[in-house]
Structure 1
Amino acid sequence: MKSLKKTRRIQIILVAAVALAFSTALIGYAMRDGINFFRSPSEVLAAPPPPHEVFRIGGLVEAGSIIRGQSDTVIFRVTDGPASVEVRYRGILPDLFTENEGMVGTGRFIDGVFQASEILAKHDETYMPREVMEALKDMDEWRGPDPQS
């Protein structure tokens, strides 16, 4: 009788351990493409990612670089001071998207051009994505106050 209880406990512990390992592996697999790290234009140009990798790029929209064509494609340059990257985006830009303002784009770097699938812009006159602000501070290009928490 003791042997049967002991065997049953061991079986339950093994099933629980296998279930935990399986769920951990499943969560890790699901998150592998869901995490997008922010990169500055300098980082992108220094170590270009492969064309299939989706990532986030951020910085300031370079003054005089916005080109709006006949279609819904917009071309502009994003800069962190020392470097700038051409960005192409097909769609409607956020209302607050302007030159010399912070932006973050999600997309792929193909043949030296960032093909954006999503563009985020500041949401009021004092907002800038934290990653953009920190990258600009690292490059000594930050010209604004620290955001309040």
Structure 2
Amino acid sequence: MSPSAESPRVAGAVSRLRSAGERVTPARYAVLRVVDAADLADEHLTAEQIGARVADAEPSVHRATVYRTLTSLVETGVLSHVHLGGSATVYHLTERAPADEHDHAHVQCHVCGRVFDVAPDVFDGVARRLLDEVGFVIDTGHAALLGTCRECTSDA
């Protein structure tokens, strides 16, 4: 796919990279396309999974380059990462400027492992209470809250 035929989300990410003075390499395009497709399919991909999909789409992009690219894109705010239970980290394309609040938060079922996107304000009450009582500021976009999903609760 040529850069001019990218999805609006990938085009926005490329625009933000260029505005920040960052180069837009074939590896960056490949990673952005893979992460965008996963986001649209409501998938949460690890670095390893992204690397495998990039290798399928762009065999000339080395896996180590994918890992460096993920780190760089997170640092520039084009991607965000979320830590899941079991030490997995998954990546998302961000649609907002790096200084903005997260556009969604995550919860993960510790029984089946499914990850659900939720509105970030779902944690507002807990965040206020933690700030008021302990002086602690939570980052709802950086880690998933663990629990049990509806399907696993009803199976018990």
TM over 0.5: no
- TM-score with structure 2 setting the length: 0.24
Q: Report the TM-score when normalising by structure 1.
A: 0.24
